[in-house]
Structure 1
Amino acid sequence: MRLLLTSDTHLPTRASSLPEDLMAAVDDADTVIHAGDWIDEATLDLLESRSRRLIGVYGNNDGPGLRRRLPEVAYAELEGVRFGVVHETGAADGRERRCAARFPELDVLVFGHSHIPWDTTSGRLRLLNPGSPTDRRRQPFCSFMTLTVADGRLYGVTLHSLPPRR
């Protein structure tokens, strides 16, 4: 199963549309995971219409409409791997320990908020933040992640850098 991870799309405040490379990856994915800060419901509608399966949560910048349609935390078992999705995990210092304590039942936690790509492990919990496809903040590039899940394992976790917006 091919997964695409994204977060912090911030449309239309940070960009007028999602990057073409991201949308091509959406079309190739079996499941798309979005870790919040959509900003507008049109982005949720777009990803719902283009995704085979969409798992998403709301973020701290998402208004009432998105909060009505999305949970704060989402859970899914995909090919034997237990995933959780949440927008905020707090400060980077101590993140692994806090998340392992808060989500002891998970194998993978996908999160957003910082716009900083992250891939670490705490015990058996893997934490993944795909960065942002529209707002690089202090990072050298905008980004998203892809990976494959099969037989209870993750394979080929890849951070994709996006070309600068014009």
Structure 2
Amino acid sequence: MKAHQRIGILSDTHGYIDDRICAALEPCDLILHAGDIGSPLVLERLQAVAPTLAVYGNIDDAALQAQLPEVVHTEVAGVELVMTHIGGYPGRYERVLRDYLTPWREHPMITISGHSHILKVMPDKSRPGLLHINPGAVGRSGWHQTRTLVRLEITSGRPHDLQVLEWSR
């Protein structure tokens, strides 16, 4: 396990990815895509930038759903994280995330979901030390006016230096 990782977190590409997004992800050691990928070509482009973990979203076709999991549960530089497409947010988690937040389980430090196209980075006040991230939408499809993604560094079990990158639609 590496003690330091730079992570790019994005969602809702809906089949669209451009050179600016790829350039913004170049410093990353790992890319996390929280679903609604829209095309295998998006994953191919991301994999060319850095190793990529992705979950399928509700607009992804049967081929992508067969290739990708609904949930990614992993550890990155000492931080446990859980990612799914439709996960809700603190106080209103969907069942798929709530199952990872039960009292008898070790709690993740970061939950990641997409779907809403709304950027949210917020602590879960009912679970100290838990950070929820929805990177918004980086694709052009949808009602959002600003395309966003999140970069985050993790060093020896501590997330830090979170950045939000924005582009107009």
Identity of aligned residues (%): 28
The 5 Å alignment of 1:1-166 reads: 1-11=5-15, 17-51=16-50, 53-90=51-88, 94-95=91-92, 101-104=98-101, 105-122=107-124, 123=127, 124-135=129-140, 137-164=142-169
Deviation of 1:136 (Å): 7.5
Query: What stretches of structure 1 of length at least 5 have no aligned partner?
Result: 12-16
Aligned length: 157
Query: CA distance change for structure 1 residues 93 and 125 in 2, over 3 Å: closer, same or farther?
Result: closer
Quick one: structure 1 residues 99 and 64, their matched pair in 2 at CA, closer, same or farther if it must change by over 3 Å?
closer
Letter in 1 for 2:7: L
Cα distance change, pair 4–142 in 1 and its aligned pair in 2 (3 A): same
Q: Deviations over 1:135-165 (max 9, x none)?
A: 375544111000100011111111111134x
Q: Give the SS at the match of 1:43.
A: helix
When normalised by structure 2's length, the TM-score is: 0.83
- Residue 130 of structure 1 and its aligned partner are, at CA, apart by 0.6
- 1:121 shift after superposition: 1.4
Sort the Cα spacing of 1:108 and 1:72 in 2 relative to 1 into closer, same or farther, 3 A: same
Note the residue ranges of structure 2 that are not aligned, 5 or more in a row: 102-106
**RMSD between aligned alpha carbons?**
2.2
The answer to whether the 8 Å contact 1:36/1:113 transfers is yes
